Amino acid sequence: MKRKLVSDLLLLLFAFTLLSACSGQGAQPAGSVGEGGDKETEQPEAKPADDKPFAGVVLRTISGPDETGYWGKLNKEFEDKTGIKIEVDTVPYGQQQQKLVNSFLSGGSTYDLFVMDVIDLPQYVEAGWVEPVDQWIQEEWKTDLLPFAQSAVVYKDKWYGLPWASEWKSFVYNKEMLKKAGYDRPPANWDDFIKVSKELQDKGIVKYASTWSWLQGEALICDFVAIAASKGAVFFDDSGQPKFNDEKSVEALQMMVDMLHKYKIVDPASLTFSESNVSNAMQAGDIAFELSWGIPQVGLNDEKQSKVVGQTEVARMPYSVKAATISGPMAYSISSGSKNKEAAWEYIKFLAGPDGAKRAAVENGVFPGWKSVIGSTEVKAAIPGLEELLEQGETAVNRPQVPWYHEWSSMMQVELQNALTQKKSPKQALDDAMDKTLKLMKENE
Least Cβ distance, residue 318 to another protein (angstroms): 24
From candidates 1, 51, 80, 92, binder to another protein by CB under 8 A: 92
Q: Please state the closest distance from residue 284 (CB atom) to another protein, in A.
A: 6
Backbone angle region of 341, left / alpha / beta, with phi > 0 → left and psi within -120 to 50 → alpha:
alpha
Q: What phi and psi, each to the nearest 5 degrees, are found at residue 384? A: -70, 135
Shortest distance, CB of residue 428 to another protein, whole angstroms?
A: 13
Give the nearer residue to another protein in terms of CB position, either 95 or 241. Answer: 95
Specify whether the CB–CB gap between 155 and 125 falls below 8 A: yes
Q: Three-state DSSP class for 128?
A: coil
| Residue number with CB closer to another protein (132 or 268) | 268
Does 7 contact another protein by CB under 8 A?
yes
Answer yes or no whether residue 217 interacts with another protein by CB under 8 A: yes
Distance CA 283, CA 269 (A): 16
Which range in 43-51, 95-103, 248-256, 325-333 contacts another protein by CB under 8 A?
A: 95-103
Size of the site for another protein (CB under 8 A): 77
Rg (CA), the chain: 25
Tell me 376's DSSP state: S
Nearer to another protein, 380 or 423 (CB): 423
DSSP-derived letter for residue 403 is: T
HEC profile for 17-38? HHHHHHHHHHHHHHHCCCCCHH
**Distance of closest approach, residue 234 Cβ to another protein, in angstroms:** 25
Binding range to another protein, per CB under 8 A, among 15-23, 185-193, 339-347, 364-372: 15-23
Scanning residues 352 to 391, which ones bind another protein (CB under 8 A)? none
Query: Of residues 403-442, which lie at the interface with another protein (CB under 8 A)?
Result: 403-404, 406-407, 410, 413-414, 417-418, 420-421, 423
> Of 102 and 138, which has the nearer Cβ to another protein?
102
Binding residues for another protein restricted to 284-303, rule: CB under 8 A:
284, 286
Instruction: State which of positions 339-358 bind another protein (CB under 8 A).
Output: none
Query: What are the b/e assignments for 164-202, b being 16+ CB within 10 Å?
Result: bbbbbbbbbbbbbbbeebebeebbeebeebbebbebbbe
* Rounded CA separation 194/87 (Å): 49
- Rounded Cα distance, 250 and 368, in Å: 34
Please provide the DSSP assignment of 237-267 as one string: -TTS-B-TTSHHHHHHHHHHHHHHHTS--B-
Run of H or E residues at 278: helix 275-283
Contact criterion met (CB below 8 Å) for 379 and 386: yes
Is 240 an interacting residue with respect to another protein (CB under 8 A)?
A: no
Kindly tell me which of 189 and 272 has the beta carbon lying closer to another protein. Answer: 272
Distance CA 89, CA 436 (A): 36
Contact stretch for another protein (CB under 8 A) within 74-82, 91-99, 134-142, 171-179: 91-99
Fill in the per-residue mask, 29 to 68: x = in contact with another protein (CB under 8 A), - = not in contact: --xx--xx--xx---------------------x--xx--
Tell which one of 88, 188, 434, 441 touches another protein (CB under 8 A). 88
**Identified binder of another protein from the candidate list 91, 188, 298, 309, rule CB under 8 A:** 91
When binding is defined by CB under 8 A, the residue of 17, 41, 43, 138 that contacts another protein is 17
Nearest-angstrom CA–CA distance, 71 and 88? 10
159 and 348 in contact (C-beta within 8 Å)?
Answer: no
Per CB under 8 A, 234 contacts another protein? no
Helix (H), strand (E) at residue 115: strand 113-117
Backbone angles phi, psi at 313, to 5 degrees: -140, 155
Binding window for another protein (CB under 8 A); candidates: 12-20, 163-171, 187-195, 368-376 = 12-20
Q: How far is CA 137 from the centre of its chain?
A: 24
Cβ proximity to another protein, 125 vs 379, nearer residue? 125
The footprint of another protein on residues 107-146 (CB under 8 A) is 107, 110, 123, 126-128
Nearer to another protein, 220 or 330 (CB): 220
Cβ 265 to another protein, closest distance in Å?
Answer: 15
At position 57, the amino acid (one-letter code) is: V
Region 157-216 residues binding another protein, contact defined as CB under 8 A: 215-216
Give residues 245-274 in contact with another protein (rule: CB under 8 A).
267-272, 274
Q: Which of 132, 258, 263, 280 binds another protein (CB under 8 A)?
A: 280
CB of 322 to another protein, least distance (A): 30
